[in-house]
Chain A
Amino acid sequence: MKDLNVIESNNNIIEINSLTKKYRKKIALDDISIQIPKGKIVGLLGPNGSGKTTLMKVLSGVICNYQGEVFINKKEIGVETKKIVSYLPDKPYFAKWMRPVDVIKIFKDFYKDFKEDKMMSMLDSLGVDTKQKIVTMSKGMIERLQLSLVMSRDALLYVLDEPLGGVDPATRDYILDTIIKNYNPEGTVLISTHLIEDVEKVFDSVIFIKQGKIVLFEEVDEIREKYNKSVDELFREEFKCF
């Protein structure tokens, strides 16, 4: 299982070569190389502190002090890649004074691929008042709002960091449904999560990351065929605590 099975394709949305990221002496990403093709829903799976969030921060351009090469759609991380990457961090990024209408304005101003009508219909289904202060909303509502913003873009790459973390099962279903219904079919979705059982049905392929190294990258169907196990079972086996 340790043999890295890289899905080779000339049609890659993400190409990473020898990426290393350190926080002081701690190595968060350890010389990883991977190519992820376009048009897939990919699960980024690993225990806490394995480097999932760091990898997502690198892809979104939030952190840029790393070694190695990272390309998105053949471009180095920068302004051009940010135009095509829609990033959902694992925490809210709204200022205290903001209302949904303020963030919508920012997205409308900065992202050409932002679809306001899509956003408004998502907010309608959520029952969110666009003039309500975000700080007064519940945690689940804030997460759904942030997800709606991210999924209202016709991006080529969606980077979703723990979109299902800390929400009840009903909200989890809503979030998954929102992702499936709204992502750009030509784009790629990279989702990090611990709740594999709930989401493995939507993954085309999965990446297992452990102590900053990629230990597996395979298509979900191949995993089932090769190991005769579900992704969840394989994950539990690989990351078993002794």
Chain B
Amino acid sequence: MFLKLVKTDFKYHSRSFFMVVMSVLLANILMLSSKGLVLSLKESESLKIVKTFLIAIAVMFLIIAVFGTIVMITKVFNNKCVSSESYLTYSLPVKRYYHIWSNLIISTVWSVIILVLSGLSAMLWIYVWSGKDSLVNWIRDIQKMFFSDGFSTFSCIFTSICGVFSGLFLIYLCISVVNTSVLKHRPLMMGVLAYIVIFYFQNKVISEFLKFCQNYFDLDCLEHTMAVNFLISGSVCIVFGIIYYILLLHTINKKLEVD
């Protein structure tokens, strides 16, 4: 049943995320077009304006894609689990927490896809505007910073996954909490407010914990310091993720009021 749910949800998500992927592609088309114009036309003032305009629009589309991913994740969960569509969701013969995990898995997959596409776009743009050497240097810097050895690679991937999971649980929790009978007034405003407050608190805890841990680690190089910091941040994210998940489960099972 869980796999069937994932399959159904994937179909649901793919429609919403299609626009986000299109936005990334459009950003790349615009960026390549601006380079094409520069190569094919003579340098002039009007060409500069058009080029700047196209680059600005391309960057805007990429930013829209990244924020659009967060908006889509929120929208899909909101529609499926707290709006009128939830009548169908909750009358399906599956456990309620299956819906959380199904949404989580698919949202993670889409987040990774959009991140990879954005990364590739950034590489393409550096290559197009600054040349092959700049791209190679950029990749080398990234590799040195995050993937210099096994430990750095692991800590980077570990923290990314933990961050995405705890972030998604927090989004789901905020949506669910503002749809309980106690907080059901102005759910959008309350949800955004709840997210900002909790996210700020989580980051504060992470930074305080990092400060505290620095007393115990005396690392010689920047890369390893960063890797350890990543690992600590990821671990704190796990703790927050577990707390969010428990609260989310309790809210969905015991407190949620479906309209």
A interface, CB within 8 angstroms of B: 23-24, 57, 60-65, 78-80, 82-83, 85, 87, 89, 91-95, 97, 102, 105-106, 109-111
Please tell me if the beta carbons of A64 and B254 are within 8 angstroms of each other in the complex. yes
Please tell me if the beta carbons of A65 and B256 are within 8 angstroms of each other in the complex. yes
Please tell me if the beta carbons of A62 and B86 are within 8 angstroms of each other in the complex. yes
Q: Which 5 A-B pairs have the closest CB atoms?
A: A82-B93, A93-B87, A93-B88, A89-B87, A83-B93
Q: A23-B181, A93-B84, A95-B12 are in contact. Are A111 and B93 (CB under 8 A)?
A: yes
Please tell me if the beta carbons of B95 and A64 are within 8 angstroms of each other in the complex. no
Contacting residue for A110 out of B11, B84, B94, B256, CB 8 A: B94
29 A-B pairs with C-beta separation under 8 A: A23-B257, A24-B182, A57-B258, A60-B90, A62-B86, A62-B87, A62-B258, A63-B258, A65-B255, A79-B93, A79-B94, A80-B93, A82-B91, A82-B92, A82-B93, A87-B91, A91-B84, A93-B87, A93-B88, A95-B12, A97-B15, A105-B8, A106-B92, A109-B4, A109-B8, A110-B1, A110-B92, A110-B93, A110-B94
Please tell me if the beta carbons of A60 and B94 are within 8 angstroms of each other in the complex. no
Q: Does B207 contact A (CB under 8 A)?
A: no
A106 to B88, CA, bound (A): 10
Shortest A103–chain B CB gap in Å is 8
Contacting residue for B85 out of A64, A78, A85, A94, CB 8 A: A94
Q: Does B214 contact A (CB under 8 A)?
A: no
Please tell me if the beta carbons of B4 and A110 are within 8 angstroms of each other in the complex. yes
Q: Does B153 contact A (CB under 8 A)?
A: no
Q: Does B253 contact A (CB under 8 A)?
A: yes
Please tell me if the beta carbons of B4 and A92 are within 8 angstroms of each other in the complex. no
Shortest A89–chain B CB gap in Å is 4
* Interface SS, B side: helix
Chain B window 1-41, contacts with chain A (Cβ cutoff 8 Å), 1 for yes, 0 for no: 10010011001100100000000000000000000000000
Q: Does B203 contact A (CB under 8 A)?
A: no
Q: Does B52 contact A (CB under 8 A)?
A: no
A82 to B182, CA, bound (A): 27
Interfacial chain A residues near B11, Cβ < 8 Å: 102
* Interface SS, A side: loop
* 8 Å CB interface, B245-259 against A: 253-258
A79 to B181, CA, bound (A): 24
Please tell me if the beta carbons of B257 and A63 are within 8 angstroms of each other in the complex. yes
Interfacial chain A residues near B88, Cβ < 8 Å: 93-94, 106
Q: A93-B87, A102-B11, A110-B92 are in contact. List 8 more A-B contacts (CB 8 A).
A: A62-B90, A65-B255, A65-B256, A91-B84, A93-B86, A94-B88, A97-B15, A110-B94
Chain B window 81-104, contacts with chain A (Cβ cutoff 8 Å), 1 for yes, 0 for no: 000111110111111000000000
A110 to B6, CA, bound (A): 12
Q: Does B202 contact A (CB under 8 A)?
A: no
Interfacial chain B residues near A105, Cβ < 8 Å: 8
A109 to B11, CA, bound (A): 14
Which single residue of chain B is at the shortest CB-CB distance from A86?
A: B91
Shortest A65–chain B CB gap in Å is 5
Shortest B85–chain A CB gap in Å is 5
A97 to B76, CA, bound (A): 12
Which single residue of chain A is at the shortest CB-CB distance from B252?
A: A64
Q: A92-B84, A95-B85 are in contact. Are A61 and B91 (CB under 8 A)?
A: yes
Which single residue of chain B is at the shortest CB-CB distance from A97?
A: B15
Q: Does B79 contact A (CB under 8 A)?
A: yes
Interfacial chain B residues near A61, Cβ < 8 Å: 90-91
Which single residue of chain B is at the shortest CB-CB distance from A109?
A: B4
Shortest A134–chain B CB gap in Å is 12
A95 to B4, CA, bound (A): 18
Which single residue of chain A is at the shortest CB-CB distance from B12?
A: A95
A212 to B224, CA, bound (A): 64
A141 to B85, CA, bound (A): 18
Interfacial chain B residues near A102, Cβ < 8 Å: 11
Interfacial chain B residues near A57, Cβ < 8 Å: 258
Shortest B191–chain A CB gap in Å is 19
Shortest A214–chain B CB gap in Å is 23
A107 to B79, CA, bound (A): 19
Interfacial chain B residues near A24, Cβ < 8 Å: 181-182
Q: Which of A24, A78, A93 has the most CB of B within 10 A?
A: A93
Shortest B137–chain A CB gap in Å is 44
Interfacial chain A residues near B95, Cβ < 8 Å: 78-79
